Amino acid sequence: MKVSLIVPCYNEEEVINLLYKEIERILKSLENNYEIIFVDDGSKDNTKQEIIKLSTQSQNVKYISFSRNFGKEAAMLAGMKYAQGDYIGIIDADLQHPPELIIEMIKALDEDFDVAAARRVNRIGETKVKSFFSGAFYGIMNKLADIDLKEGAQDYRFMKRKVVESILSMPEYHRFSKGIFSWVGFKTKWFEHENIERAAGKTKWNFFGLVKYAVNGIIAFSVVPLRVSLVFGVVLSVVGYIYAIRIVIGTLLAKSAGTGTGYASIMSVLLIIGGTVLICLGILGEYIARVYIEVKNRPIFIIDETNITFS
């Protein structure tokens, strides 16, 4: 039984060696063959050089280096595609995912589970604003999408080969792995842990990056926004027709056509209708843009350098 552990990396030179020592110690204690696959996502610091150094020290260390920054989703996909293990795991490089859970996760797969996944039970150390929006995202996502997304669910997990194969069969360009992990199903055991601060370096996520990530997730797994646009259109049309009939009847009864400017009412109607139309067009545009990207069928990532022998 072979274990593969995928580590997506972007500008993590300060923490790579710390992480490697931890996971190497833990994986050595197991009775399994193993490989550690570092995926350098176009880092601008010395992350790639640090990974290559580790690969020269141990034959268990593999690396993939992208030609540019393609994002964590692409890095995880590349690792899963070229991992050779029967059990395949994913862990962040910043040590916010507790490595000591690896042993328990692998034990869960040895039992009757197909997936062993981690979730945070609190957000100690995060700002209240970030925590609020994160909680709101999970609530909205579960209401809009046809998936059960556990609050606090992370990419940190171990999966059997059949689970990874099912994930690789989904080749979409705009990937939302948390949703994909949930969508494919399989029997999952959850491991809860406290929030942990980064061991070194700075987070690569900012508020707008998280908003973009959330929008991608909603659009990838829900058509509800399109239906909301339709509801907006229907409601405004009904209101518009009622208002038009009221004006016509009022004008005929009062015979006051042309009296008063009506500027406020006209502008209010125009702004409401115009704003709603633009919102609906924006939502529709987001879906069309993703269709446009998908039909191009561009590669999700491009490998610049690796020590993995492709079969």
Please write the tens of the pLDDT for every residue from 78-122: 999 999 989 999 998 888 888 888 999 999 998 889 999 888 877
Alpha helices for the chain (secondary structure H): 16-28, 47-57, 72-82, 101-110, 128-144, 161-168, 177-184, 207-221, 224-254, 263-296
- Identify the pLDDT of residue 35: 92
Q: Picking from 20-24, 55-59, 113-117, 241-245, which range would have the lowest pLDDT averaged per residue?
A: 241-245
- Identify the pLDDT of residue 217: 65
122 vs 265: CA distance, rounded Å: 49
- Contacting residues for 191 by C-beta, under 8 A, at least 6 apart: 101, 104, 105, 108, 116, 117, 118, 119
For residue 160, give the amino acid letter. Answer: K
Task: Answer yes or no: is pLDDT of 203 > 70.
Answer: no
Question: Span 178-195, mean pLDDT?
Answer: 83
| Second-level CATH architecture of 2-127+148-205+299-306 | Alpha-Beta Complex (3.90)
Tell me which DSSP letter residue 158 carries.
Answer: E
Question: pLDDT confidence of 28, banded at 50, 70, 90?
Answer: confident
- Identify the pLDDT of residue 259: 47
Question: pLDDT confidence of 7, banded at 50, 70, 90?
Answer: very high
- Identify the pLDDT of residue 90: 93
Question: Where along the chain do its domains lie?
Answer: 2-127+148-205+299-306
Task: Answer yes or no: is pLDDT of 136 > 90.
Answer: no
Q: Picking from 67-76, 90-99, 158-167, 216-225, which range would have the lowest pLDDT averaged per residue?
A: 216-225
47 vs 16: CA distance, rounded Å: 7
Tell me the two tokens of residue 252: 């005929």
120 vs 72: CA distance, rounded Å: 19
- Identify the pLDDT of residue 62: 92
- Identify the pLDDT of residue 63: 92
